[in-house]
């Protein structure tokens, strides 16, 4: 009888090793890993990185601090994320007040492209304004500050580029947004743009350049019916199986 009890205890102990709960492990913020071994999928781990939409919406954009500071925020967006010149909006505003037409700036409660040109010249950069057509923007290889007139209000935004009939804009007040070429052409004020060139011998940082992952900031109404779903790979099938089974909670962060 004693031997039988010992056998049962040994079996329970052995089984406990199989069913023991794994201690949660820390992962980098926003990264989750789903081991497929729990689902019979073999020795495979799918890493998934998540980024809040609120952060993606304003990624590589300096948000304007005031209603009238779209010009300075657009300027600093290009300085920081395209050229790698790290100044903040307050410094740019003070610089444009010092180098620009101060009385006119105060009167109109905003900055002009001429104020921007004088300021960037004072920090060793070259800025120039141009008149252009839509066809010129389609060949543009660097971001530009453009004025738009939307709803009767003047506003400065950063034109990142045009791809497949979609104009990608970094807006200091609204974040990463898109227009159709026809919409942008209606709102583009006086076909003007302002381009800042890097200092001699320096390569731009280039964070405002369009990438192959721009879908996350496109209005979904523009892509409905145009997206193509390719055949799922084995990795994607395993990931889908993990999500559907609830294994996504296997790893977690400790607060």
Model pTM above 0.85? no
| C-alpha closest to that of 143 among 175, 163, 169, 182 | 169
Note the pLDDT tens digit of each residue in 9-25: 455 444 444 445 556 56
DSSP 8-class letter at 188:
B
Nearby residues of 179 by Cβ (< 8 Å), 6 or more positions away: 166, 167, 169, 187
Helices (H) and strands (E) in the chain, counts: 9, 8
Note the pLDDT tens digit of each residue in 87-113: 999 999 999 999 988 888 888 888 999
Interval 134-163 mean pLDDT: 92
Dihedral, CA of residue 149, residue 150, residue 151 and residue 152, to nearest 10? -10
Q: What is the pLDDT of residue 53?
A: 75
Percent of the chain having pLDDT more than 90? Answer: 47
Domain assignment present for residue 63? The answer is yes
Q: What is the pLDDT of residue 252?
A: 39
Q: What is the pLDDT of residue 186?
A: 93
Domain assignment present for residue 245? The answer is no
Domain CATH code at residue 138: 3.90.70.10
Q: Report which of residues 154 and 52 the model is more confident about.
A: 154
Domain assignment present for residue 84? The answer is yes
Domain assignment present for residue 21? The answer is no
Residues 62, 70, 79, 144: which is the catalytic one? Answer: 70
Percent of the chain having pLDDT more than 70? Answer: 65
Residue 202 annotated in active site: no
The Cα diameter of the chain in Å comes to: 101
Note the pLDDT tens digit of each residue in 195-217: 999 888 889 999 999 987 775 44
Q: What is the pLDDT of residue 215?
A: 52
User: CA-based angle 197:199:200, to the nearest 5?
Assistant: 110
- For 5, the token pair is 């009890």
Domain assignment present for residue 222? The answer is no
Domain assignment present for residue 25? The answer is no
CA distance 7 to 1: 10
Query: For 199, phi and psi rounded to 5 degrees?
Result: -60, 155
Domain housing 87: 53-197
Query: For 13, phi and psi rounded to 5 degrees?
Result: -65, -45
Domain count, the chain: 1
Domain assignment present for residue 139? The answer is yes
- Interhelix angle 113-122/89-99, rounded to 10 degrees, is 100
Q: What is the mean pLDDT of the chain?
A: 78
Domain assignment present for residue 27? The answer is no
CA distance 95 to 204: 22
Instruction: Give strand pairing partners of 169.
Output: 159, 177
Residue 243, pLDDT > 70, answer no
């Amino acid at each position: 009888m004693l031997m039988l009890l010992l056998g049962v205890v040994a079996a329970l102990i052995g089984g406990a090793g199989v069913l023991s709960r794994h201690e949660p492990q820390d992962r980098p913020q926003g990264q989750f890993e789903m081991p497929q071994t729990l689902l019979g999928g073999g020795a495979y781990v799918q890493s998934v990185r998540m980024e809040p939409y609120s952060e993606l919406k304003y990624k590589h954009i300096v948000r304007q601090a005031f209603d009238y500071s779209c010009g300075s925020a657009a300027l600093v967006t290009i300085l920081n994320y395209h050229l790698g010149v790290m100044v903040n909006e307050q410094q740019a505003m003070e610089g444009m007040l010092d180098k620009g037409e101060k009385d006119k700036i105060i009167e109109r409660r905003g900055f002009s492209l001429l104020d921007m040109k004088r300021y960037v010249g004072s920090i060793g950069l070259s800025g120039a304004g141009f008149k252009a057509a839509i066809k010129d923007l389609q060949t543009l290889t660097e971001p530009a500050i453009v004025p738009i007139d939307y709803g009767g209000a003047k506003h400065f935004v950063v034109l990142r580029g045009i791809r497949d009939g979609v104009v990608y804009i970094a807006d200091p007040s609204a974040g990463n947004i898109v227009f159709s070429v026809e919409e942008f052409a209606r709102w583009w004020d006086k076909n003007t743009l302002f381009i800042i060139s890097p200092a001699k011998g320096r390569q731009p940082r280039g964070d405002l350049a369009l990438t192959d992952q721009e879908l996350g900031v496109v209005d979904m109404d523009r892509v409905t019916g145009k997206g193509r779903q390719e055949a799922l790979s084995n990795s994607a099938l395993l990931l889908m199986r993990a999500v559907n089974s609830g294994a996504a909670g296997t790893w977690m962060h400790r607060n």
